[in-house]
Amino acid sequence: MAEGSRAEGSRTAPLAFGQVVIGPPGSGKTTYCHAMREFLARLGRSVAVVNLDPANEALARPCALDIGELVTLPDVMAGLGLGPNGGLLYCMEYLEANADWLRERLRALRGHYLLFDCPGQVELYTHHQALKNVLAQLAKWNFRLAAVHLVDSHYCTDPGKFISVLCTSLATMLHVELPHVNVLSKMDLIEQYGKLAFNLDYYTEVLDLSYLVDHLASDPFFRNFRRLNEKLVEVIEDYSLVSFVPLNVQDKQSMRQVMQAVDKANGYSFGDQEHRSLEALMSAAVGADFHFSSTLAVQEKYVQSQDKAVEEEVMDL
């Protein structure tokens, strides 16, 4: 009877929308959550950040809900004698086992657009089941979520690392089983990482990767692994799922582009939560054109910075 009541409650609960922000350590997840919260709040949305990272002890900015109220990584490591990796996995399993706690806390946030700031352990998104099960439970509670997978843009400057990022992104998309938006973060710093072998749209659209394999073959170390790289590239291209949206959290147009991609992924742009102008409808219908324009703008800034660096080198000579 109790189970039937819970199921009925799930069916009658109002829809709630949000983003599950995932990615490796240092990719900018927490920075993204708070920048997106401020950006959406200016558009009139009621936004709340939910911290699901038990290792995030010193939160720079307040969150509406913190997993630290339930479990923290230092307590688990000290109490069970686990290391950081094992401790994080245990924390996520503990959260899964105490899903009722999460549900009760989230009830107070109904009516808010939620940003879930998740841990940076890659295993949680590629093969471990706990966080995936928590997200599946949220779906049963009528939360419509999209995964926002952040990847540091500096990986574009290293072809070998970029192939690794593509494989990780694909594995994450297949495992998490949520509408997915891959994001190249820290685009404002990309000119500091070094020169790109190809134009930026090559990396965001994940175009013909055979060129990347050929570029790798010019390195004596990777030449011995050409066959392996070809097979990895074949897997990525066969699925044809991975692409990226460039992001600079300090650029409003860049934030708007990511917002539109995520709103389309989780279905928010097709609801009645906001007044939708013709421009908003068109951006949802022809998102690829807007995506291309945004990427082109970032590419132009990158090329200009490279040209300026070359000019400065010539002047020095």
Instruction: Map out the domains of the chain with their CATH numbers.
Output: 16-206+242-316 (3.40.50.300)
Alpha-carbon distance 309 to 30, whole Å?
32
* 97: pLDDT strictly greater than 80: yes
Query: What is the average pLDDT score of the chain?
Result: 85
- pLDDT tens-digit series, residues 117-145: 999 999 999 999 999 999 999 999 999 99
Alpha-carbon distance 122 to 164, whole Å?
12
Higher pLDDT, 106 or 216: 106
Q: Whole-model pTM?
A: 0.83
User: In this structure, what token pair is assigned to residue 308?
Assistant: 């300026």
Decide: residue 215, CB within 10 A, 0-12 exposed, 13-18 middle, 19+ buried: middle
Q: Which residues contact 209 (CB under 8 A, 6 or more apart)?
A: 163, 166, 233, 236, 237
CB 251 within 8 A of CB 244: no
Alpha-carbon distance 229 to 210, whole Å?
9
* 295: pLDDT strictly greater than 90: no
- pLDDT tens-digit series, residues 188-215: 888 787 788 888 899 999 989 999 999 8
Q: Which residues contact 133 (CB under 8 A, 6 or more apart)?
A: 96
DSSP-derived secondary structure letter, 249: T
Minimal CA–CA distance to 164: which of 105, 216, 99?
Answer: 216
